[in-house]
């Protein structure tokens, strides 16, 4: 008589999916636009313009690979003047790309 043992093994369960929330770039863009809007009169900028600027900043952040230090600094912004130290955390190329795209956006 031959006895064959078959064992079934279940691998470790996959880790739970990380909660989906705003990325650091999304949060930095929200903070920057919020600081800009805070300087405007109550009527402020049209929502479409603010949303377009928010998208522009997020895309530059993602495509240019802004550092964690830079995004943390921008997320912590309370007013537009707080951006100056954050700008120093971006490379010259990153700053130039953001300024170029913002200027192009303003001409539209």
Domain residue ranges in the chain: 24-107
pLDDT of residue 1: 54
Listed residue (16, 21, 28, 9) closest to 67, CA to CA: 28
- Digit-coded pLDDT (tens) for 15-33: 666 567 899 999 999 999 9
- Digit-coded pLDDT (tens) for 45-102: 678 888 999 999 999 999 999 999 999 999 999 898 998 999 999 999 999 999 999 9
Contact 89, 70 (CB under 8 A): yes
Looking up tokens 């997320």 gives: 75
Listed residue (17, 28, 18) closest to 68, CA to CA: 28
């Amino acid at each position: 008589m031959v006895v064959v043992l078959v064992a079934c093994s279940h691998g470790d369960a996959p880790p739970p999916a990380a909660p989906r929330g705003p990325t650091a770039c999304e949060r930095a863009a929200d903070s920057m636009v919020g600081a800009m809007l805070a300087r405007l009169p109550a009527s402020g900028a049209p929502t479409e313009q603010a949303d377009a600027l928010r998208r522009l900043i997020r895309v530059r952040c993602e495509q240019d690979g802004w550092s964690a230090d830079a995004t943390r600094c921008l997320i912590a912004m309370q007013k537009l003047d707080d951006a100056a130290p954050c700008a120093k955390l971006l490379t010259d190329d990153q700053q130039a790309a953001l300024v170029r795209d913002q200027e192009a956006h303003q001409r539209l």
